[in-house]
Amino acid sequence: MGFSSMTTEVSLSPAMFGIAGLAFPSCKPSLSRSTRPYANYPDFDDEHLYRHTRLVTSAVIAKIHTIGWTVELLKTDTLLAGMRINWYGFLGKKFKDMFGHFCGPVLSALVGLKKPRDHGVPYSITEEFVSVYRMHSLLPDEIVIRNINQPTNQDKCPPIVEKVPMKELLGKEGERRLSKIGMEQMLVSMGHQSCGEVALWNYPTWMRNLIALDINGEDRPDPVDMAAMEERGVACYNEFRRNLLMIPISKWEDLTDDEEVIEAVNEVYGDDVEKLDLIVGEALHAEKKIKGFAISETTFFIFLLMASR
């Protein structure tokens, strides 16, 4: 797909309800930014242009992730201050907006430096980040569609029209259903619906039988998560924590206080805590959480590292 066609067409196939809703408002301005270097620097070759636009788009995503998404998952005043300092520096947003980058990354953060501090490695999402960012339990089993045409008080939710199972909002069928609902009604409905808890045994029912599709809506073989992680060289839970200079667990009680979880992992792994897979111990949220955090400490470490990366 060329740059001209990207500005006018965003493929939603095979679209999922939520992804389509998020893609439309975020992709269009991002794609618009991506075309500017092409117009302003026609001498750029494809690779040069790709790396510039990739960096710009990554920066937009990073900003949303740092000062929007993460502070909602980690609902504490300390985290809010910390993530804003990470993005704007100790001098804060108002100073940076008024005077620009000043006196290095400590006072004005890493964003806006004349030269990136990437140690010669182009920005990319690491395997560790992908491995811990498995938050499927946030997804609901159904979407509650709201009536946007009926006026309501400002502090009340619009009335419910229907509840649509998520399995009906996937692939080609989901794309057709979305076109009938409309983008505005979908976004309003999603804005009034709570997400699920990031916890063990809260995996969406509809995803257990989900068949992955390719861009044409055809079945696509999908590797089992744990096997795929091993192939990519992602360490088991304890070794993963050691690599982050975090304290590994020595018994199941170090992982969780939940007796049911302890019984389950002991049945699978016995007494050998070193065999615990990352996706079970951390990404599937068995790990104890810090007060006010919706995610585990291990995930939080990766989030902090990637926020600065």
Catalytic residue among 123, 133, 203, 269, which? 133
**What whole-number distance in Å separates Cα of residue 4 and Cα of residue 215?**
20
Q: Is 203 a catalytic residue?
A: no
Contact 295, 289 (CB under 8 A): yes
Residues near 226 by beta carbon (within 8 Å), at least 6 away in sequence: 277, 279, 280
Active site residues: 133
